[in-house]
Structure formats: structure tokens, C-alpha cells
Amino acid sequence: MLKEFKDFAMKGNLVDIAVGFVMGAAFNKVVASFTGGIVSPLIGLIFNADFKDLKYIINEGTMNDAGEKVGEVAVMYGDFLTNVIDFIIVAFVMFMIVKGVNKMKKKEEPAPEAPKGPTTEELLVEIRDALKK
């Protein structure tokens, strides 16, 4: 069972998937920092606020003794939009990578056609002629 697992784990496709997963996770961090550090502040200029902190307050909270707001109910749409932008960037880059890899793959030549044998009618004619003799 251990040998089977080792054979399974060391197959090329599984290792490729693992490498792709690690690279994708690292790439996601790069995109998140790009969106959070560059895109969000630029969009925040439009709204005159930090883009990630944009929210729609449903129920105002109250200030406690420590000066913190408690009991606030809000829809954090700025954070959601930041994550949507992250997803769109990652999805577009992955699309471009897959498109590039598919273009680089060698196009397979069609398999040569099998030689055609005699048709059923030709075989029946041969059998008939052989029986006549």
C-alpha cells in the first residue's frame, strides 16, 4: 500500500498540480498586495475614503468606555469589491497562462487511416466466384 501511494504521489501530473498550487497561492498574495496597496487607494480617491473600509451601515453601534464602537451592523462592500478585483486579476492571468500553454503544445498529427479492406459486397462476389469454380 505504501508503494502504491508513493507511485501515485510521484506521478508527473500530481507533482505538477502541487507546484501549480503553491505558485498560485504565492501569486494570489502578490495580487492581493497589488490590489490593497495600489488599486484600492486609487479607487479610494474617487470615494474620498479607504476603499477597503467602505461599508453600508445598517445599525449604528455605540461607543463603550474604551472608545471602541460596539454593536455596529454593516455591509462591508469595499472589502468584497477588493476581493472581486483580486479574483478577476487572478482569473485573467490564469486564462492567459492556459491559453499560452495550449498554444505552445505541439499539435498532434492525426493518426494515419487504417488500410481499407474489401467491402462486404466484394467478399460476397469472391465467395460466389470461388463456389462457381
**Tell me: the pLDDT tens digits for 29-61?**
888 888 888 887 887 788 777 777 778 888 888
> What pLDDT is stored for residue 79 in this prediction?
84
Which letter does DSSP use for residue 71 in this model? S
Share of the chain above pLDDT 70, in %: 89
- Phi, psi dihedrals of residue 74, rounded to the nearest 5°: -145, 150
> What pLDDT is stored for residue 36 in this prediction?
81
Q: Please determine, for residue 90, whether its predicted confidence score (pLDDT) is greater than 80.
A: yes
The packing angle between helices 12-34 and 77-104, to 10°, is 140
pTM: 0.57
